[in-house]
Structure 1
């Protein structure tokens, strides 16, 4: 049995594979030319695909411009910081007293994780991404966010003891 077949349980379907010792195989210039052409074709298709995806993204993206005095919502998480900004129509019932919230220069606020509420594994493109639901305590009360388990273990190992 050939090493490829032993390892993968099937015969190799390409001319570029392992052979038993003692076998002699000649890979001529034709196979090299064909392989080079296929690699070029694959690269061209990848460039076209990337360009198409970029154009889709650029069409949907809207640059936000803010003026002094505009009100905005900032999506801020304790671990990753500022995410995105959304323009906001002012409503005085939504105002949080400034004395209660201290925003740092890097636009983060002081919060501490209290406990891990739940765990979940998301599957994305064949990869498994472990997440934890964290209960945070801060000046505005408790809040919940889903965070990467690896980042939380690195930043707050005591939560996993």
Structure 2
């Protein structure tokens, strides 16, 4: 039991040092994280949106576009990303079509590239696909 407690305390001290609380001020701009239903599995962000007020310890109220009137304005801190000017993963809000759980469906538009990798006994085909609402740089 002592060894388990020692190992637990050691792991907890490492986790506490690497994890820092994420806090925003009123007036800051943040992006909202959305999760694709199909296709690319990496989260994408829309925005930026301004923070109106802090609600509790870990929630914030945002000003949203008119297309998002069906979405509640208060968001948990884990779905927010600080606005730093990185536009590679930012999507335009117009025409995304969100579900109730704030996710959208990824639809492939066209195949940009096709490569065949030859191994000893088989061939592996890889395709580079352009997804709807993504830039060419975001194709996978």
Relative to the length of structure 2, the TM-score reads 0.39
* TM-score normalised over the length of structure 1: 0.35
Q: Choose between structure 1 and 2 for higher RCO, CA contacts under 8 A separated by at least 6 residues.
A: 2
Determine which structure has more spread, i.e. the larger CA radius of gyration.
1
Which structure's residues are more often helix, by fraction? 1
